[in-house]
Every structure is written in structure tokens, then in C-alpha cells.
Structure 1
Amino acid sequence: MARSGIQFQKGLSLPEFQRLYSTEEQCEAALEQARWPDGFRCPRCNGHEHGLVYGRRLKRYQCRTCSHQATLTAGTIMQATKLPLTTWFLASYLIGQAKTGISSLELSRHLGVKYDTAWLLHNKILRALTEREEAYLLRGKIQIDDSYLGGELLGGKAGRGSENKIPIVAAVSLNEAGHPIHVRITAVSGFSSEAISDWAKHHLAPGSQVLSDGLACFRAVTTANCHHKAVVTGGKHPNELPQFRWINTVLGNLKTSFNGTFHAFNFDKYARRYLGGFCFRFNRRFAMAAMTERIANAVCCCKPVTEGALRIAEAYG
């Protein structure tokens, strides 16, 4: 039986990662390349000419036009971090290479830091990955489905009324050969026409061809100028529905991943960024060796955020 080229591709091995990112100087150079690939640009005036100011943990760039000083982390989600850059890059490596994701507790053990530190680092990186994912629209042929994520809390409500069970919409775009290209999985407020219409306007490109089951609310994707076709499944097993093969596969992988990795997890509060991290890895599955570099790019593009803001429940949609 032929092996899958995606599953058996060569990723970034741990020895290779250590060769590339084992020192602060190496991480600093990689971060500089990620943030300013064409050379330094002043955050204030966009000037290019600059000098370097040494004497602190991170070197400072001083613009020769406006005299503004900036560090590599200032203005990014890494701003004011007290952690070494090597810790940030190792966390990015572990998050990117873990096919089923990694919990903050496991991350704390690998990094040798306290759980609260690992949680904050983990969630900052996931926020950056989620923002990068939400900048793109799905287009072309798209399979879409509804599902629920999470389980009942001890002493809480059971079934769909559970405080920790949230509705999600999953969509996957396909190429001409019918193979998946990109996936988008998002928590929504519910399966109403209004919620699906709002979701489609934020995540689907106009003109896309959307295939769904018979759930009535999915007709609302037409408000985003998308074409819609419904197939009534009649309670059939997913194996009997080849037209929904890939969306069912993605949802199955997602639930297996989350159930095996995250425990005592507040899905209702933090699902958006954890789903974003899952989608980020899936959508870059063809280039595992470059995953750490791509995470560094996403981190550089994400604005600063406080721990308090990260611990507030994120909006659905």
C-alpha cells in the first residue's frame, strides 16, 4: 500500500531545530527576518535608515529619521516578554509539529516553565495563528457541515444544553481533483439563518459553490453571494455519504485530536483560538519543515494583547 506523501513528509527534526534556533542570536536573526524581510522599517515613520543600540537583553533599532527606538518584539504579541527568544521558538516548534495539538500543561513540562507561563505563551501564539487564518477566505468548491464541540461539565446540563458544548461550523475547500485545500472551523452563536449568513460573509469568497446537508440555515450562505446545493442525508452514516467525505474526515480528526489532548477545557470560552490553531496546522500540512518559520511570521503580525484580554471569552463568528 502506497504511503501518503503528506503523512510521511520530512518535517523539521528536533536536531535540525536545535541547529537553527538554539541560541538567542539565532532566534533574534530569524525574528528579524520574519518581521522585516526587506530590512528594518521604523514603526513610526517607516524609515529604513537606522542605528543599533546595545546594552539590554534585546538590541534596539534607532531610526535615523525620527529617532524612534524599537525592539524586535515591540508592537507584536511578544511585546514586553521576559522569556528568552529561544523559549518562544521552542514553543512555536512544539505547537507547530504536534499533529493533534499540545496542551499547556504538556508545553510547560517541555519548556521547563510554570503552567501559568506556558498557558499565556500558548494562548498568545494560538491567537496569532487564529488571526492569520481569519485573514483568508475559502473559495471554489466547499463542503460545509454543522457539529458540536465539547462535553458536559460535572453537575451541569446534559446534551445540547450543556454549558460547555458549543455549536461549530466546519468548511473545507476542494481542488479540481476533489482533494482538500483549506479548512475553516468556527464557533457560532447557533444554527440560525442569521448566524450562518454572518459566518458566510466573514469566511467565504463570493461565487463559491457550497455543498451542505439539508439543514435549513445553510441556505443563508446565498446572502454572501455564494451558490448553494443541499443533499438531504436522511440520517445516513458518514461512510454512506461520499460527497461529504472530506468534511466528515476533518471533523473526525478534530474531535479525536481535542478529546485526546485537552482535558478540563473550557470550550465555550477558548474554542476560537484552539480551533484556529488546528486550522493553521492543517492548512500548512504540505510544508511541515517550514512550520516554525510560518508561526514566527504570524506572531510578528499580531498586535500586543494582555493576559486579562486573553482570559475573556472570545466572540463567536
Structure 2
Amino acid sequence: MTSNLSFEQFCDEFNDEQICIDALFSARWPQGFRCPKCAHPHCYEIHSRRLPLYECRSCRSQTSLIVGTIMEGSRTPLRLWFQAIFLHARPRGISASRLAEVMGTTYKTAWLICHKIRHAMSASDAGELLDGIVRINSGAYGKPHNPTVFRHPQKQPLLAGVSMDDKELFSHVKIKHVPDDYLIHDRITNGGKRDFIERYVAPEATIISAVILEYSPDRYRPLIQLCQQAGNWINYMFNGIGPKHLQSYLDQFCFGLNNRERSSSPFHRLLQWSVSSLVVTYPDLISRVDHSAIHKSTYSKLLKEAC
């Protein structure tokens, strides 16, 4: 199992492009080839390129091994992609600057690979709802040391939810960055709570509490502490993150927690999600809305009015 391998041992096991091609083929088509267009089970292999093409014997359409995966359009060798996926599947993860050193690539290439892998982690999180006994509580990332009555630009409100058993042991965790549409200053609205429940909680689940007020006497401290742990991990590993990409890092943190007790290795689970997740491009990533400038201008205006 790759979960028991050191990084050096993993690199020795996947030290050849053909080995990675075979592993990626098995992850994408575990029951054997299926044409993406007509689902025919047989194909011809064409080896005129760096990566093989597969031509359907029925409809004659051709598909590449990485088309329709997070690796689509990438010229980075599969061996390096596998290394990046392995390092992200470990509990601590890895930063883009460190990954660039390990793989010997530019920072921009490593940054893009990191975010594409986090995109697969987000898809994994979206595929599993909270069920059974569920608790929900508000939290925060980037809470300043000198808080005021207004929302500080560094403070990002969160909602955390957990599935647990009757002994209150966590089985699945979600932490979500609350959209601005569901905030009044730094307070989460009831609409934000309803949206979280509708999107992330199974209809048959038993919700025993959903607390959105920061200082409610009913707040569930383990979830507040979980948000703090996520923030500490982000600050330690990545030197802090702005609101634009915060959700990606929260999804990575939850992926690490949710896959610790799985029977399959985190690497194989992440590889499977990497070949089944929708393609995300560099323009998609950099075009995400960044509300930090809005928060800063609003915060400055409120402070001036308070003076």
C-alpha cells in the first residue's frame, strides 16, 4: 500500500513513465477501456506521442489518457504528477514553493499543479454529504489579535459541520467559507445556515444543533477548535491565505482528516478523483472573485465613521 511508503520509496516504485501510464489507465478505467463517446470496450493504442492515444474500434474517436482529467493540457511528466499527488495526499500536504523544489519546476507550474489537485479534493468533498448525527457550528479563519466591533478584513467567517456517532466521534468533516451574500458584517445569517444544510447535509440526517452565533451558549467547541486547527495548519504550511483561494485549502485540510481511517490509501483515492474531476484551467483559478479589497475599503470606511 502506498500509504505506508516514504516519499523516496514511492519515487522508486513510480520511477518510469510507463509505470505511471499503466497506473493512470487503471485509475481511469478500472473495468477496462470505455470509449468516452460511445462506451465501446475495445480500442487501438497509438504511440506516436509522449502519451498514448486510444482509438475506439467502434466509432473511431480518439482520446488521450489525460483528457478530461485535472492533468489535461499539461506537459509535465506523469512521474512528477504522481509525486505531487502523493505529497498532497499526506496529512501535512505541501506548499507550491516546496513542490517546485522537489519536482525541479517553476513556481507557477507547481502552483497550478497544487491547485488542480486541490480541485480534485474539492470534488471528493462534494461527493459525500454529512449524514447520521450532524452538528454544525460557526468558526473563523484569520481572526485578528485586535478585534473591533466591525469585521476585520483578515477575518473570514466559516461554517463547520461534522457527522458523528453516538459517542461523538467524528466520521466526516466539512469546513466551508461563508459567501458574502450570507453575512451581515461578520455575522452569519440564517440564510447562510440554510444554504449550508441544503448543500452539504443529507436530507435524512439528524441535525442536533446548528449554531451560527459566535458567542452562543450552545456553541460546540470541538468544531470551533477544528476551525482553529485548520487555520493553524494553513498559516504554518502556507504562511497564511487570502479569501480568494481559502476554500481550496480548507477542502485539503478536510480531505486529510476524512481519509485517515479509509481502507484504501489516500494516494489512490486522490488519484481516482484526479482522473474523474472536471478540468480546471489557470484562467479559471485566477478569475475567482477576491473580496479582500472590498472588505478593506468597507472596514476603513466604518472605522472612519466610528471616529
**Same fold? TM cut 0.5:** yes
Match of 2:190 in 1: 193
Q: Map residues 109-258 of structure 1 onto 2, 5 A cutoff.
A: 109-150=101-142, 161-189=151-179, 190=183, 191-212=188-209, 215=212, 232-233=216-217, 244=220, 246-258=222-234
Is 1:286 aligned to residue 261 of structure 2? yes
Deviation at 1:173, TM superposition (A): 1.0
Provide the aligned length of Structure 1 versus Structure 2. 280
Deviations 1:141-198 (A, max 9, x none): 122211111256xxxx978623342211011111233211000001112311111111
Moved over 3 A (4+): 157-160, 211-217
Match of 1:300 in 2: 275
Match of 2:45, as an amino acid?
L
Deviations 1:293-313 (A, max 9, x none): 111101111122220101122
Q: Could you list the runs of 5+ residues in structure 1 that have no partner in the other structure?
A: 1-9, 218-230, 235-240
Contact 1:52 1:62 in 2 (8 A): yes
Deviations 1:46-93 (A, max 9, x none): 111111101210011110001011111011121111000011110011
Partner SS for 1:161:
coil
Partner SS for 1:61:
strand
Cα distance in 2 between the residues matched to 1:19 and 1:185: 36
- C-alpha RMSD of the superposition: 2.6
Match of 1:310 in 2: 285
Match of 1:224 in 2: none
Cα distance in 2 between the residues matched to 1:133 and 1:245: 23
Match of 1:41 in 2: 34
Partner SS for 1:137:
coil
Partner SS for 1:25:
helix
Contact 1:180 1:246 in 2 (8 A): no
Cα distance in 1 between the residues matched to 2:55 and 2:116: 27
**Aligned CA distance change for structure 1 residues 258 and 211 (closer, same or farther; 3 Å):** farther
Match of 2:305 in 1: none
Match of 2:241 in 1: 265
Identity of aligned residues (%): 29
Moved more, 206-215 or 131-140: 206-215
Match of 2:53, as an amino acid?
R
Q: Could you list the runs of 5+ residues in structure 2 that have no partner in the other structure?
A: 292-307
Match of 1:256, as an amino acid?
N
TM-score (norm 2): 0.83
TM-score (norm 1): 0.81
Match of 2:297 in 1: none
Cα distance in 2 between the residues matched to 1:209 and 1:58: 48
